[in-house]
Structure 1
Amino acid sequence: MSSSTDGRPEEPATAGRAGAVSALRPGYQAELAQGTERFFEPRRDDCPWCGSGRLRERLRTSDLFQHKPGRFLLDRCLQCGHVFQNPRLNAEGLEFYYRDFYDGLGEKSLGGVFAGRQKMYRQRAESLRPFAERPGTWLDVGTGHGHYCETARTVFPGTSFDGLDLSAGVELAEQAGRVERGIRGSFVDLAERLGDGYDVVSMFHYLEHSTEPREELRAARRTIRPGGHLLIEVPDPESRWARLLGRWWLPWLQPQHLHFIPVANLRQELAELGFTVVAEQHAEPHDPVDLLGAVWLLLDAVAPPEDAPWLATPPTRLRRLLRTATLLAGVPALLAAALLDRLLVKPLARPWGLANAYRVVARRD
């Protein structure tokens, strides 16, 4: 079996998931034998956004998505409202918990999810139309496999879309023709080389993944021409669903999401960087999946786990049957939650403060 660049076995093309899990299990178990404490930086006693020492615990949770071992804490700053992971994952921890989520074992399932969201991608692109009818060049930061750019091109057919991402997905996006140029690497590190010629830079659900969101905003300013625009969409930590659903609120996405920025903080930071916010949207970027996501996470937590290489041993046949039975029993609850999300919650998302995300369009002055 061949090996990947980080020494892990590559998934054989014909082995299927079971074979891939078996091949990856020894490596994961060797890492986990060393404990998960080494994946974290020291806990900090001040806010990374405003420096205040007035912190309060916001959330304790586990990895509800992959079910990798570990406990994660979020703190909220009582001064500015910023919510952040504390202690934060270090570089080794980020690599461990991201592994096999968007790539490897998770690439096929997550790729299908992202590919099927054309309506949302189109709405994101349309949010710029009142301010820029024909942008020439567009850089999508955190583009993944480039599905957003593929859809946005139907809204702006004359625009050249580049995509930037840390993962190999951006190279696949270029090969598939979804982006003109796939740029792999850190946005902060590459900003100077990219220059200041882009008409638009977009960051859709990207800043919350960043270790230093302020540096990402400075990088955006360096790459946008004067008069160009920055589009940002992030989870809204002030959403009422965040309080009502607790750890079952899908956008917490621990341990991947490191920062949750209140919109007032973002507006102030953009103003200090020389941007003018020309649009702030809450109802439009709301994704009606809060109840559905909460029910699914709860069912997935209650059911015996699916086989994964971070489990010491594969589930028995009985546990696999119990998992299937649990998920099937939950189908009515999933259907009811989906209907409530779309028919009841979505129309009330803005007036009731239930929107789970916000979008900002800002012009570089």
Structure 2
Amino acid sequence: MTDNGEPMTDPKKDTDRAARIAALRPAYQADLAAGPDRFLGPRRTTCPWCSSARLTTRLRTTDLLQHKPGRFTLDRCTDCGHTFQNPQLTTEGLEFYYRDFYDGLGEQRMSGTFGGRAAMYVGRAQAMLPHDPVPKKWLDVGTGHGHFCEAARTVLPGTAFDGLDFTEGVDLAAREGRVEQAYRGAFPDLAPDLTAHYDVVSMFHYLEHSTDPDRELRAAREVVRPGGHLLIEVPDPESRYARLLGRWWLPWLQPQHLHFMPVANLRRRLTDLGFTVVAEQHAEPHDPVDLLAAVWLALDNTAPREDVPWLPEPPGRLRRALRTALLLGGVPALALATLLDRLAVRPLSHRLGLANAYRLIARRM
């Protein structure tokens, strides 16, 4: 398998991909000519959540998925527990590190990854049934390619699902009929035109990507009608896996994930904004991939790099062969990690404090 989840036996696809990479290489090399530090803003001395100056370094790492150059630091506030990227990527940096991840070179891989998770999306939609079994209009913020909306329609066939994202994936979602209305842009900028328009607004693994989570939550309050619901799912920085696996814990996802909010912090902020939290879940949103992802990230980081446009030149035949050999040798470890994730850890994830995400459902008063 390639890093894109595709068989390595399709010469035409390999040739087409190599040509695309060669065409993109000059632009990437120009972007990197001054070094990757230019993509980082000034370092904060206070917590962006509570303004405390009591900060400590929690993690230092690199881009373990795309392997784009750069080093990143996550700091933790010792007063409120908020963890955040510090220094944070600038707007130019976000564009650079998102480029070819969800779209472009990465579109086929991410579409396949998200498209194969229908059971998870159905579970997310079912979480709303005890609180509003017949919502008329639902906005999925950070919808990506719209696969959640497509699956959720099987649970709520009478609901109109719209999607919002800042990538071109939302346009693809509209073309494929996964969302009825596509909004492309920043949620806080679009919110004034959608005031009190939706019965449900969902943010599945979206807030951690935002540069200002509080601004996103205020936008959600504006868009959710009185009596409507906000459904949020984010990585849990208090998961024991976050400490046990260190930089190999997939939800850190540097440099894309900018903020990690302990559940108590988010509950208090929602209450301050006029919401009432009606459900808190940990076991249900847990995604049983932590050990598998950690093994894969370690293998991928050890192996020679594949051909990508942010490398000065494509790897030679020997380096490609070494990469293939190492990844094939790691298959037993990957298989064992998968079994442990799904059979041993998943049933006990919340009880053992290993759940990697939490979900809140809040009603706007």
Q: TM-score, normalised by structure 2?
A: 0.96
Most deviating of 168-177 and 271-280 = 168-177
Shift of 1:300: 0.1
CA distance in 2: counterparts of 1:175 and 1:98, whole angstroms: 22
Give CA-to-partner distance per residue, 1:90-133, whole Å, 9 cap, x none. 00000000000001110001110000000000000000000001
Aligned to 2:302: 302
Alignment of 1:138-153 (within 5 A): 138-153=138-153
CA distance in 2: counterparts of 1:77 and 1:49, whole angstroms: 9
Most deviating of 233-242 and 190-199 = 190-199
Aligned to 1:326: 326
CA distance in 2: counterparts of 1:14 and 1:69, whole angstroms: 24
Give CA-to-partner distance per residue, 1:315-340, whole Å, 9 cap, x none. 01000000000000000000000000
Matching residue's letter, 2:22? S
CA distance in 2: counterparts of 1:252 and 1:79, whole angstroms: 21
Shift of 1:265: 0.3
CA distance in 1: counterparts of 2:330 and 2:359, whole angstroms: 33
Most deviating of 232-241 and 165-174 = 165-174
Alignment of 1:57-136 (within 5 A): 57-136=57-136
CA distance in 2: counterparts of 1:175 and 1:312, whole angstroms: 36
CA distance in 2: counterparts of 1:90 and 1:31, whole angstroms: 14
Aligned to 1:5: none
Matched, 1:50 2:50: yes
Aligned to 1:251: 251
Shift of 1:295: 0.1
Tell me which stretches of 4 or more aligned residues in structure 1 moved more than 3 Å: none
CA distance in 2: counterparts of 1:211 and 1:327, whole angstroms: 35
Q: Give me the identity figure in percent.
A: 70
Q: How many residues align?
A: 353
Aligned to 1:192: 192
Matching residue's letter, 1:33? A
What SS class does the counterpart of residue 155 from structure 1 fall into? coil
CA distance in 2: counterparts of 1:78 and 1:227, whole angstroms: 35
What SS class does the counterpart of residue 362 from structure 1 fall into? strand
Shift of 1:31: 1.2
Give CA-to-partner distance per residue, 1:276-301, whole Å, 9 cap, x none. 00000000000000000000000000
Shift of 1:35: 1.1
CA distance in 1: counterparts of 2:70 and 2:140, whole angstroms: 32
Give CA-to-partner distance per residue, 1:140-168, whole Å, 9 cap, x none. 00001100000000000000000000011
Aligned to 1:228: 228
Shift of 1:15: 6.1
Matching residue's letter, 2:256? Q
Shift of 1:14: 10
Shift of 1:194: 1.1
Alignment of 1:203-282 (within 5 A): 203-282=203-282
Shift of 1:172: 1.1
Give CA-to-partner distance per residue, 1:27-64, whole Å, 9 cap, x none. 11111111111101100100000000000000000000
Give CA-to-partner distance per residue, 1:219-262, whole Å, 9 cap, x none. 00000111100000000000000000000000000000000000
Matching residue's letter, 2:247? R
Structure 2: stretches of 5+ with no match in the other structure: 1-12
Structure 1: stretches of 5+ with no match in the other structure: 1-12
Matched, 1:178 2:178: yes
Matched, 1:17 2:17: yes
Shift of 1:185: 0.7
Shift of 1:195: 1.7
CA distance in 2: counterparts of 1:17 and 1:50, whole angstroms: 46
Matching residue's letter, 1:77? C
CA distance in 2: counterparts of 1:287 and 1:16, whole angstroms: 33
Q: TM-score, normalised by structure 1?
A: 0.96
Aligned to 1:3: none
Aligned to 1:35: 35
What SS class does the counterpart of residue 201 from structure 2 fall into? strand
Aligned to 1:7: none
Matching residue's letter, 2:155? V
CA distance in 2: counterparts of 1:45 and 1:185, whole angstroms: 30
